[in-house]
Structure 1
Amino acid sequence: MSEQAAGSASLATGTVRLVIVLGGLSAISPFATDMYAPGFPEIVTSFGTSGTAVQLSLTACLIGLAIGQVVLGPVSDALGRRRLLLAGSGAFAGLSLVCALAPSIAVFEVARLLQGVAGSAGLVIGRAVISDRYAGARAARQLSTLSVIGMTAPVLAPVAGGLLLGVGSWRLVFVALAGAGLLLVAAVWAWVPESLPVERRRRGGPRTVLAAMGPLVRRRALVGNLLVVGCALGALFAYITGSPFVFQDGYGLSPTAYGLVFATNAVGTVLAGVLFGALAGRVRLGALLLGGVAVTVACALTLVVLLGTGSGAFGATWACLFGLTFGFGLVLPASTTLVLALGSDAPGAASGMLGGAQFVLGAAAAPLPGALGRTTALSMACVVLACVLLSTLALVALARPWRDDGEDEDEDDGEG
């Protein structure tokens, strides 16, 4: 093998390793968010609390994810990516153990909040690393890979959680998460080099770096895409928090069977991600985004109509939720790529805003299926529909995907 061929093979191997680690970093927070979902009824009994209080522990984690991404994204533009990835992964492992040993629901919820902050480093900085290294269609394909992993994780996490609950209590889930955090520390140390050279870092300290978000929020298309994906993620988390009660209490499934339902839905997400990756560069991102939002609205509306008329059998509910996850599998990579392209002058800040919008809106929607005291299939479906309709409104009023991809509007930016 020639030196040039050997160098190319080494580069390809390094790229594969990098994407694997970034994929793991993208997956760990969704796993932390959803892996314990099959154990919700057991946690209610363990702490002697209510279902709504347990759902709020998910909200706490989502708030932590939002805060962490908003702060750590732009800060990484100043300090670099690698050291924050190492610190975040280590803190995530430690806080997962605190969750496993929590003596009360109050301690558990505080630990979940901080666990979300720590886990956010992998999400927000992973996207920034891709933005540092790639552009155009290649960036879209790499982000699509991370999106598939990030979208599959919330759906596969309850499967893994259900399997662990078959051999131990809900606390075992958080012990497993701690072990995963330690593996990520080792993987980042070995395979993730610094992607932001010192000469490309922002100057002026944290305040100046955080101020980089100011110009971004004045870009209408960017804000529109943030709201599109944020509201869609709200629908997804309403589905995730509501579904353990719907499928286990309403339809009588065991935790393991509930996990298998989610595994099937993961196939829809993966198929959507593969389709997006194949079409990226050949079909406009705006068209893919529009198609994904249309699918989510159609499936959510159908589910509400079926449940409202008493026709919401188990199979029909499952099919509609499969379609919802498929549609979101198109929405997430399309809107993510558009946001990072529109904010390419401050990739860490843009990535932080993206994560903040997603998880703030996700946190707001997560406890809503049980807000009236009891989570039902119809209450979950109504929250999901409301979220996807808000996503559609943002698409039409702000994102406007029929315009050229990445086009910004001078009148909205205040630039001449």
Structure 2
Amino acid sequence: MTVSTESTSSPPSPSPSSSSSRTRARRLVVVLGGLSAVSPFATDMYAPGFPEIVASFGTTGSAVQLSLTACLVGLAVGQLVLGPLSDAWGRRRLLLAGSALFSVLSLVCALAPSVVVFDVARLLQGFAGAAGLVVGRAVVSDRFTGTQAARRLATLSVIAMTAPVLAPVAGGLILGVGSWRLVFVTLSAMGLVLSAAVWAWVPESLPAERRGTGGVRAVFAAMGVLLRRRELIGQLLVLGCGLAAVFAYITGSPFVFQDGYGLSPTGYGLVFASNAVGTVAAGMLFGRLAGRVRLMSLLAAGVTITVASMTTLTLLLAVGISALPATWACLFGLTSGFGLLLPASTTLVLAIGADAPGAASGLLGGTQFVLGAAAAPLPGALGGTTAMSTAVVVLGFVLLSATALVTLARPGRGPAGRGGAGSRSTSGG
């Protein structure tokens, strides 16, 4: 043990520098949390205003719904592109540019004269907002390791999963005092606040000597290297299929609870919010257990809970037991299991791809949104959306997640360590 030459016999008191360091770390996590929340808010906050937007542009509902698809595409592509670029150009400048452009493009949405301009602006808004998600995770990977990284990534995951629940509520409140355009003015203001916060509290976390060499092409080639790692592919599929299950649940659940069980929109909102609490509570539990329990064990627990919950629901429906409490409880199990799965798999992906954290983060975000977008319409693909069709689709994806965990995601060399991804080398496949 190394002892400072200035130590005395009395216990050392916390130094001002360590206190200042903790304050800076807290501020950093707060800003990164805001960056993680703003894209989900942009995705869902305007949903209550869809009918008003249709009337405002004199267009169809499908044309306005296309704006949601455009935003999701922008988020997926943005993460795949901006993550690797941050390995070459650094984190801070992309966070500043992304936040500023998000603010500008939100204002373009607010002032859009036609639905075509609106849809294009939404695509670009999603791309700009992706910077906060993908680069924010890379900053955590730069600054923290092991248990500290796991806990901070769990915090960001909880925020990212809570934001979609709060966003429509916030949007409804804004629509109570103004038009749908005010929603995007609010998003623009959020972008400005985040730009100022990044400028003040997010220093560059990737020094020039640690950045990718050989230009942008070489940095994107690093993504190809990552994709040759079996363990990383497995973790991407575990998380991507898990999120796809959640997206299928989100799109199917309004029909299940309102059309199938006769709940009012308010009643459904309470069910949805209570299930979201399961995700938040599980994420908080993960933060407490990280460092004491192996990450692979926490991940396996999360996957097992999702599979057990959806298998139970599907069997109950198959034998004719379709009761609101049972369906509600099983879907609560799904969201709670995902609350463990999400931060565990995210931490493991970034640890496995620690030699190119931006590229790893980009693959992580891109996989999530691509599989999520593909899964969203499946509960109603064969006609009406029912409890059984939703349960079957969700069960299929959680089984795929479990299969990826068992066959691909196991550590290649050595066990996954406490609070980290294990002793596995990240220099090769």
The Cα of 1:265 is off from its aligned counterpart by 2.1
Q: How far apart are the structure 2 equivalents of 1:386 and 1:187?
A: 42
* Paired residues of 2:252 and 2:385 also in contact (CA < 8 A): yes
Match of residue 179, structure 1, among 176, 180, 189: 189
Matched, 1:297 2:327: no
Q: Does 1:35 align with 2:45?
A: yes
Name the CA shift for 1:130/1:155 in 2 (closer, same or farther; >3 Å).
same
1:239 aligned to 232, 249, 252, which one?
Answer: 249
Within the candidate set 351, 364, 376, 1:354 is matched to 364
Q: For 1:316 and 1:173, how far apart are their aligned partners in 2?
A: 37
Aligned length: 411
- Comparing 311-320 with 176-185, greater Cα deviation is found at 311-320
Deviates most, 323-332 or 39-48: 39-48
Going from structure 1 to structure 2, the CA distance change for 1:316 and 1:167 (only over 3 Å counts) comes to: farther
Unaligned runs of 5+ in 1: none
Going from structure 1 to structure 2, the CA distance change for 1:118 and 1:287 (only over 3 Å counts) comes to same
Secondary structure, counterpart of 1:96 in structure 2: helix
Task: Say whether residues 1:129 and 2:124 are aligned partners.
Answer: no
* 1:280-359 superposed matches below 5 A: 280-308=290-318, 311-359=321-369
CA drift of 1:251 comes to 4.8
CA distance in 1, matches of 2:258, 2:179: 17
Matches of 1:72 and 1:369, distance apart in 2: 32
Which amino acid in structure 2 is aligned with residue 390 of structure 1? L
Which letter maps to 2:28? Answer: L
With structure 2 as the length reference, what TM-score do the two structures score? Answer: 0.86
- The question of whether the paired residues in 2 share the 8 Å contact of 1:224 and 1:394 is answered with yes
Give the 3 Å change call, closer, same or farther, for CA 278–351 of structure 1 in structure 2: same
Query: Which of 380, 383, 408 is the equivalent residue of 2:393?
Result: 383
Residues in 2 aligned to 1:408 and 1:223: alpha-carbon distance in whole angstroms: 18
Q: Distance in 2 between matches of 1:218 and 1:5?
A: 45
Q: Kindly indicate whether residue 267 of structure 2 is the aligned counterpart of residue 264 of structure 1.
A: no
Label 1:37 to 1:399 Cα distance change in 2 as closer, same or farther (>3 A): farther
Tell whether 2:209 aligns with 1:199: yes
**Letter in structure 1 aligned against 2:201:** W
Change (3 A) 1:192 1:317: same
Counterpart-to-counterpart distance in 2, 1:55 and 1:296: 30
Pair 39,391 (structure 1): closer, same or farther in 2 beyond 3 Å = farther
Q: What do residues 285-323 of structure 1 show as CA deviations (whole Å, max 9, x unaligned)?
A: 111111111111222233334445554344333332222
Residue in 1 aligned with 2:238?
228
Q: Could you tell me how far 1:377 is from its partner in structure 2? A: 3.8
Q: For 1:341, give the aligned amino acid.
A: A
Output the CA distance in 2 between the equivalents of 1:161 and 1:255: 15
Answer whether contact 2:411 2:424 (CA < 8 A) is retained: no
Q: Deviations over 1:134-165 (max 9, x none)?
A: 11111111111111112222233333334444
For normalisation by structure 1, the TM-score amounts to 0.88
Deviation at 1:372, TM superposition (A): 4.2
Query: Which letter does structure 1 place at the counterpart of 2:161?
Result: M
**Residue 82 to residue 142, structure 1, CA distance change in 2 (3 Å):** same
Tell me if structure 1 keeps the 8 A contact 2:51–2:61. no
Farther off after superposition, 41-50 or 26-35 = 41-50
Mapping 1:140-155, distance limit 5 Å? 140-155=150-165
Cα RMSD between the aligned structures? 2.9
Residues 1:214 and 2:243 aligned together: no
Task: Determine if contact 2:233/2:409 at 8 Å carries over to the other structure.
Answer: yes
The answer for unaligned runs of 5 or more in structure 2 is: 1-11
* Cα drift, residue 65 of structure 1: 1.3
After superposition, the Cα gap between the structure-2 partners of 1:140 and 1:253, relative to the gap in structure 1 and judged at 3 Å, is same
**Identity among equivalent pairs (%):** 73
For 2:369 and 2:316, locate their aligned partners in 1 and report how far apart those are by CA, in whole Å: 29
